[in-house]
Structure 1
Amino acid sequence: MKGSVVISLFALLALASSVASAYDPSPLQDFCVGLNDTKLGVFVNGKFCKDPKLVKADDFFFHIMPGNTSNPLGSQVTQVSVNEFPGLNTLGISLARIDYAQYGLNPPHIHPRATEVLTVLEGTLMVGFVASNQNDNRLFTKVLNKGDVFVFPFSMIHFQLNVGYGDAVALSSLSSQNPGVITVAKAVFGSTPPISPEVLTKAFQVDKNIIAYLQKQAWYDNN
């Protein structure tokens, strides 16, 4: 498993240097630990930099607790972006821990600002992503076991489903300090205000009653 995690991290670093630099800022200093006090720092990409002389080792440390999977999806994503971990500021990377109950699903979603490398730490996951219209919306899917690594290309719709006999845990590494997430079903059917039924009935080629039913659902956010 350690070898797979190392591979995942090397892949993440490569992605961060080649992809994220076009979106996240390139550091102009050794580090820029983010803080919210406007009187004590310089504003950089949505965050103020802590005075380097006041930075400590704890600014580069974060402990991830297991997520609560007692929800309709049976999964919980614990994000560790710059908002949760200020030491990531300007470094162009972030991560997340994903916990899955048996049959738990991390539903189809998009990271609008990142490529993702997923490493399975425990359990068995069926994962996949769908290519764009340019590539005929091809589905790429695979069953992963402990120690396996899979990459979801930049901004592609992707998912993970626990198909094992027990709980599962995965580590997600992302090529942005603030990758964002758009859960497809929630965004389409749970938007505020709602998307016009005329748009959705025509787009999905279904009866307006089906659209009305979907828009009334309480779409759960596992992030």
Structure 2
Amino acid sequence: MTQRIAVVTGAARGIGAEVAARLAADGNAVAVVDLDEAASKEVADRINGSGGWAIGIGADVSDEEQVTAAVTRVAEELGAPTILVNNAGIIRDNLLFKMTVADWDAVMGVHLRGAFLMSREVQKYQTKEGWGRIVNLSSTSALGNRGQANYAAAKAGMQGFTKTLALELGRFGVTANAVAPGFIATEMTAATAERIGVSFEDFKEASAAEIPVRRVGVPADIANAVSFFAGEGAGFVSGQVLYVAGGPKA
């Protein structure tokens, strides 16, 4: 089987780091991309120490020049990137009347502008190779979530973006799908617990009580879904949104 080159953004911690490790375990070479270059290299070092092949790259996915430089470096050091996981994301939660323009723009910049810039750059290699996988991280918040007007709008936008990429790139052998996590225990959800003034353990317990499988998710749950979409066997699956949330979502 041909070794594929994967790029995972926001991969220095949490879901992104787990996805990078899983894709490496699947046999892909992986570029760990994150704003925090030192942390990216630490993740890459762990992957290499486990027998994989990875490099760590620091880049702001909302910056066009940095995206171009990062993807060029991937092509030069690993080979033509044909798998892209747009995972980079931030939260700037607040109720609408308290939300600033800066809060709105920051979230849109990382999630939507970042996914656009990375996808536009990587598809150049995918279409040339005649094979590609794009996996975008959405969220159950795309269905609406109090205090997250910016994040919900961005994650809903990721779904429309995904379906459009599927329509445009399918003829070139490139699929595009989205994974929409529910409650996943990460630093980001821990920060949410802190913001609302409850302990993370209590936050997880309360959330699990409302989830049909009676537990919160972990990063590996998302990595499993991404692994499927990024694999050879998912070539006839495109334009789909998979909610990984422990129960059905609309």
Q: Give the TM-score of the pair, scaled to structure 2.
A: 0.28
Give the structure with the higher percent helix.
Answer: 2
Q: Give the TM-score of the pair, scaled to structure 1.
A: 0.30
The structure number with the bigger radius of gyration is: 1
Give the structure with the higher percent strand.
Answer: 1
